Amino acid sequence: MSNRIVFLKLFAVSLLWGCNYVASAYLLRDFSPIFLSYSRLVLTSLFLLSIAMIHRKMRRPTKGEWLVLLFAGLFGTLFNQFFYFIGLQSSTAGNASLIIALSPIATTFLARLFLGEAVTARKLTGAGLALTGVVFIVLLGEGGAFGVSSGDLILLLAMLALSVSLLFIRKLSLTMPSYDITILATVIGTLLMTPAAVWEASQGHLHVSLHASMWIVLSLVAIFGQGLAGFWWNQGISAVGASASSMFMNIPPFVAIVVAYFVLGDAIRASQIVGGMLIVTGVFVANGEKKRRSPKPLAHQA
């Protein structure tokens, strides 16, 4: 596969992931949050498992790997998706995309805290810029009014859950292919989400759309926006490396803001633009150092 095709696929992934935020906000108009999260995960898992059955390349994980996969699914799928959809109800697609974009920075400091990894001056500078950007987004609302949105705070929990899962994925990537990690962590997280979906229904909070168009959008998001995009991302980091691929991760937040403006009618706020530029610059600065480690597996986008 030529580099040109690889870069086109990576660009397509960044567009798909940017549109995912808008599609999620749109679907929340006609689905309850936990059911929406669960049904999307079920569809994505079925797609991933069908691919696995066709290729038959997966190996059985060891007992130790199963345990790490359990925690990766717990934080990366269950907690991340639960907080993401709950938070998005009281926030915007643009804010969600920008807050989730902070996850590489959060992962760096969690790795320092729990794994003892060094944090360089460059990473500290990048973290400072990114955190300043989050302050702009979370504290400045419509018309520049000062206030904190509960939705944005819950989205911060989703971002932290994703960041924690990346630590487990990093450990798994030392012994397992990213292909296997992506499929197994997603399926495990989906199974863990089942009790939450049952609880939502038992409490009378379940709402399911009766419109075929909504289910079509949901299916497209699950299969293309999550499943296919994940495979293309893995192909990209295998072909051109993590550093080149990571540059495309700066695109989704701005795709989400622009698409949300046209599709959902969300206003584009100055705080989003300033905060977004600070976050993207911070992530770029922090990740700009040359890395000699092997490429990381897929970091699921919301």
pLDDT band at 292 (very low <50, low <70, confident <90, very high): very low
Phi then psi dihedrals of residue 75, to 5 deg: -85, -45
Mean pLDDT, residues 201-217 taken together: 94
- Asked if pLDDT for residue 203 goes beyond 60, the answer is yes
Which pLDDT score, from 0 to 100, does residue 25 have? Answer: 95
Q: Say which residue, 285 or 70, is predicted with more confidence.
A: 70
Which tokens hold the place of 25? Answer: 């906000």
Note the pLDDT tens digit of each residue in 31-89.
Answer: 999 999 999 999 999 999 998 888 777 888 999 999 999 999 999 889 999 999 999 99
pLDDT for the residue numbered 144:
52
Backbone angles phi, psi at 273, to 5 degrees: -65, -50
pLDDT at residue 147, as a whole number: 59
Query: SS3 helix, strand, coil % of the chain, rounded to 5?
Result: 75, 0, 25
Q: How confident is the model at residue 298 (pLDDT cuts 50, 70, 90)?
A: low
Q: How high does pLDDT run on average in the chain? A: 85
Return the closest-CA partner of residue 64 out of 187, 165, 229, 175. Answer: 175
* Exposure of 43 in the CB half-sphere (CA atoms within 13 A): 19
Model pLDDT, residue 195:
94
* Residues 9-28, mean pLDDT to the nearest whole number: 93
Please state the pTM of the whole predicted model.
Answer: 0.85
- What pLDDT, on a 0 to 100 scale, did the predictor assign at position 35? 96
Task: Using CB atoms within 10 Å of the CB of residue 263, give its burial: 0 to 12 exposed, 13 to 18 middle, 19+ buried.
Answer: middle
Top-confidence residue, 286 or 169:
169
- Of 239 and 155, which is predicted with more confidence? 155
- How would DSSP label each residue in 87-155? HHTTS-HHHHHHHHTTHHHHHHHHHHHHH-----HHHHHHHHHHHHHHHHHHHB-GGG-B---HHHHHH
What percent of the chain has a predicted confidence (pLDDT) above 90? 40
- pLDDT one-digit tens code per residue, 222-258: 999 988 888 788 777 767 766 566 677 778 888 898 9
Percentage of the chain with pLDDT > 70? Answer: 88
Mean pLDDT of 190-196: 94
For residue 216, the model assigns a pLDDT of: 97
pLDDT at position 294, please?
44
Which residue has tokens 């990571």?
246
| pLDDT for res 293 | 47
**What is the predicted pLDDT for the residue at 109?**
82
Q: Is the pLDDT of residue 100 over 50?
A: yes
**Band of residue 295 on the pLDDT scale cut at 50, 70, 90:** very low
